[in-house]
Amino acid sequence: MNVRQVLVLNGPNLGRLGSREPDVYGSSTFEDLVELCRSAGREVGLSVEVRQTDDEAELVKWVHEAADARIPVVLNPAAFTHYSYALRDALAQRTAPLVEVHISNPAAREEFRHTSVVAGVATGTIAGFGLYSYVLALHAIARLLREEGN
């Protein structure tokens, strides 16, 4: 089987999973998320690298790296979802599938979370399934790559 690299990129505060608002984000840690993504990736023939940053510039740099190398991306932009036009412009340069993910359902939360400035440049969005949103996104990436013959 041809193993394809995928980046799972996470924005601000996601490194604090497990201690940050467990009533919203659950009790699983960021390390649990990393293992879940790697395991789900292996199941569908993907080599998954998981990264997290609180720095918008670093996230944009990673998106550029993915675009230049034609690497598919699963992205949880976190707070950048709602206002980062720099991130949106970087994502618009994508050269491979991009799935936006959210652990919670932003549409069921505060009004300011209802708008995603990055959704319009994503292949699709998966939200509200807890950490399983990432598993669904990786399955979607694998299917899109198969359909493209990659």
* Mean pLDDT per 10-residue segment, the chain (150 residues): 86 82 68 97 98 97 98 95 93 97 79 81 95 98 90
With residues binned 3-state (H G I as helix, E B as strand, rest as coil), the percentages for the chain, rounded to 5, are: 50, 20, 35
The verdict on pTM exceeding 0.85 is yes
- The predicted pLDDT at position 20 comes to 66
- The predicted pLDDT at position 21 comes to 61
82 is in an annotated binding site: yes
126 is in an annotated binding site: no
Chain centroid, CA 123 distance in Å: 12
- The predicted pLDDT at position 144 comes to 97
The answer to whether 26 and 131 have CB atoms below 8 angstroms apart is: yes
Q: Which of 102, 132, 134, 139 is catalytic?
A: 102
- The predicted pLDDT at position 82 comes to 87
The answer to whether 83 and 89 have CB atoms below 8 angstroms apart is: no
71 is in an annotated binding site: no
Q: Which of 25, 83, 114, 139 is catalytic?
A: 25
- The predicted pLDDT at position 65 comes to 98
Active site residue 25: yes
- The predicted pLDDT at position 29 comes to 87
* Reported CATH class of domain 4-147: alpha beta
- The predicted pLDDT at position 1 comes to 43
